[in-house]
Amino acid sequence: MHIVVLTKPVPDPAAAAERLGADGRLDRAASPSVVNANDEYALEAALKLTEAHGGEVSILTMAPAAGTDTMRKALAMGAARGTLVADAALAGSCLRSTVQVLAAALREMEFDLVFAGADTSDGGGGVVAAGVAALLRLPYLSNAARIEPDATAGRVRVRRITPTGYDVLDAAMPALIVCTQALGEPRYPSLKGIMGARSKEVATRSLADLGIDAGSVGGAAATTAVLGTRKPPARDATRVVRGTAQEGAAAIIELLDARRLVR
Amino acid sequence: MTAFWVLAEPNADGSLARISTEVATLARTLAEASGGTCTGLVVAAEPGTAASELARFLPSVVAVTEPAVADHAWATIAAQRAADIVGEDPDAIIVLGAGPDGRDAAGTLAALTGRGLLVNATGVTWADGLKVEMSVFGGKLITDSGFTGGGGIVTVRPNTVTAEPAAAAGAIEGRTASGELALPAVAVIEQVEEAGAAAPIEEARIIVSGGRGVGGAEGFQLVQELADALGGAVGATRAAVDSGWIPYSQQIGQTGKIVKPELYLALGISGAIQHKVGMQTAASIVAVNRDPDAPIAEFADLVVVGDLFDVGRELLAALRARSG
User: For helices A128-136 and B74-86, what crossing angle results, to 10°?
Assistant: 80
Residue predicted with more confidence, A13 or A161:
A161
Residue predicted with more confidence, A103 or B260:
A103
Range with the poorest average pLDDT among A26-30, B64-68, B79-83? A26-30
CB contact at 8 A, B223 and B38: no
- Between A135, A166, A229, which is nearest B143 by CB? A229
H/E element, A193: helix A191-197
ipTM of the complex: 0.93
Q: Does B258 touch chain A (CB under 8 A)?
A: yes
Range with the poorest average pLDDT among A184-188, A205-209, B56-60, B265-269? A184-188
Cis amide linkage into residue A174, ω under 30° from 0: yes
CB contact at 8 A, A18 and A31: yes
Contact B262/A248, CB-based, under 8 Å?
A: no
* Mean pLDDT across B293-302: 94
Q: Is the pLDDT of residue B40 over 80?
A: yes
Residues of B in contact with A165 (CB under 8 A): 191-194, 197
Q: Is the pLDDT of residue A145 over 70?
A: yes
Determine the residue of chain A that is closest to B116 in CA distance: A223
Contact B197/A232, CB-based, under 8 Å?
A: no
Choose, out of B109, B135, B302, the residue to mutate when testing the contact with A (most A CBs < 10 Å): B302
B197 pLDDT tier (thresholds 50, 70, 90): low
- Between A19, A131, A225, which is nearest B110 by CB? A131
User: Which pTM does this prediction carry?
Assistant: 0.92
Q: Does B242 touch chain A (CB under 8 A)?
A: yes
Q: Is the pLDDT of residue B29 over 80?
A: yes
At A64-74, the pLDDT tens digits run 988 888 999 99
Q: From CA A117, how far away is CA A143, in angstroms rounded?
A: 9
Contact B116/A16, CB-based, under 8 Å?
A: no
Whole-number pLDDT of residue B196: 61
* Mean pLDDT across A100-117: 97
Contact A13/B138, CB-based, under 8 Å?
A: yes
The total number of residues written for chain A in this structure: 263
Beta bridge partners of residue A240, listed in sequence order = B303
- Between B76, B114, B299, which is nearest A235 by CB? B299
The total number of residues written for chain B in this structure: 324
Determine the residue of chain A that is closest to B256 in CA distance: A181
Q: From CA A162, how far away is CA B192, in angstroms rounded?
A: 9
Residue predicted with more confidence, B183 or B201:
B183
Q: Does A30 touch chain B (CB under 8 A)?
A: no
Contact A259/B263, CB-based, under 8 Å?
A: yes
* Mean pLDDT across B108-117: 96
A150 pLDDT tier (thresholds 50, 70, 90): very high
